[in-house]
Each structure stands twice: as C-alpha cells, then as structure tokens.
Amino acid sequence: MKKDRRPARRRAAAAKAKKPDDPQAVNNAFVAALNHPTRRELLKLYLEKDAALSPKELAELTGEKLPTISYHVRVLADKNAIELAEEEPVRGSVAHFYRATALTKSTPWVLESLDLQSPRS
C-alpha cells in the first residue's frame, strides 16, 4: 500500500519545485541551502569546478559517504542552488549530474559566504 502513496508524494514535490520570483523567497532558499557546512562545501565545489558533477563524484572529492552527499545534493536542488544538468545510464540505474544555477553564480552574497570572488569584484 505504501507503493501507491510514494508516487503521489513525488508528484507533490515536483509541483512545489517551481522557482520563486520573490527576491526574499530566493534569499531565504539560499540561506536554508547554506545552513549546513556540507552543503556549503558542495556548492563551493560546484562553483569552483564549473562542471556537472554527480553525488558519487562529490563523495569521492569530499571523502563523505554517498548517502550523506546524495541527501545534501537533493536539498541544494530543492532550494534551486543547483539544477539537474544531465542523466546517464549506469548499470541499470541512472546517474544524475548537477551544476550550479545561474542565479547562484550571480548572487554576490552567496559567493562571498563561500569565500569565492563575486562577479562584480
């Protein structure tokens, strides 16, 4: 019976994934995304590498466990700090590759909080 409920939750999550137009809502989402040191580290890697990275690649780069990294990547994606860039079939599964959004790259306070140079500097 739980299998029937699970897809409904996924549809609900997809419906909530609309990008907010309100600047305050965007800032609140970024604050929530940056509220954990692991997410700050991951977002910094996405911005420094400027490439599509999978949670597996991030786990190898950080030395953290894959389930931990996957969770934090999902949170970053939910907050629109990163976006799905590509999918690749891998041994009967699908690997997801994400990259930093243009909004993340162009928000000066986010870059400063990650000790990265702001585009205006």
Give the model's confidence band at 5: pLDDT under 50 very low, under 70 low, under 90 confident, else very high: very low
- 73-90 pLDDT tens trace: 999 999 999 999 999 998
Give domain limits for the chain: 22-113
Binning the chain into helix, strand and coil, the percentages to the nearest 5 are: 60, 15, 25
Burial of 102 (0-12, 13-18, 19+ CB in 10 A): exposed
Predicted confidence at residue 118, as pLDDT, reads: 57
**Residue of 100, 72, 82, 77 lying closest to 17 (CA atoms):** 77
pTM: 0.77
Average confidence (pLDDT) over 49-71 = 94
103 forms beta bridges with none
> Does position 12 have pLDDT exceeding 90, yes or no?
no
CATH 3.90.470.20 fits 22-113, yes or no: no
Average confidence (pLDDT) over 51-70 = 95
- 97-118 pLDDT tens trace: 999 999 889 888 888 988 887 5
